Amino acid sequence: MDRDAIRAWAERPWSDVAGAKRAWHARRFREAGAASGVALSRGLREHARRVRPDWPTARNRERDLAHHVELKRLLDRAAHAFAGR
């Protein structure tokens, strides 16, 4: 590996990279709607399964469900708070 190339990559303007990524995703959303996000998430899931065929484990799924249930509880609580105004 080329040290200078690695250094250049590590020292690149990461805020510019993040901005370019946001712009790319926004453009995709404008052009294809929510389906673009669904397709992207499916691609990421397929990649994860190729790298780790055992993913998600039963424990991963249990924790994910617990987080979703907690988020739902918080959203319900917030909706109730705003409904009373």
Has residue 5 got a pLDDT over 90? yes
Please, where are the H alpha helices in the chain? 3-10, 14-32, 34-51, 58-83
pLDDT reported for residue 33: 94
Q: Read off the amino acid at residue 60.
A: N
Query: Of 16, 37, 17, which Cα lies nearest the Cα of 27?
Result: 37
**Are residues 62 and 47 both part of a single domain?**
no
Residues 8 and 47 in one domain: yes
Provide mean pLDDT across the span 42-51: 96
Whether 61 and 84 share a structural domain: yes
pLDDT beyond 90 at 70: yes
Residue 46 sits in the same domain as residue 24: yes
The residue segments making up the domain with residue 80 are: 56-85
Q: What is the pLDDT of residue 85?
A: 65
Rg (CA), the chain: 20
Looking at the 3D structure of the chain, how many domains does it have?
A: 2
Distance between the two ends of the chain, CA-based, in angstroms? 61
Verify that 49 and 60 share a domain, yes or no.
no
Question: For the chain, what is the mean pLDDT?
Answer: 94
* Predicted local confidence at residue 84, as pLDDT: 67
Residues 33 and 44 in one domain: yes
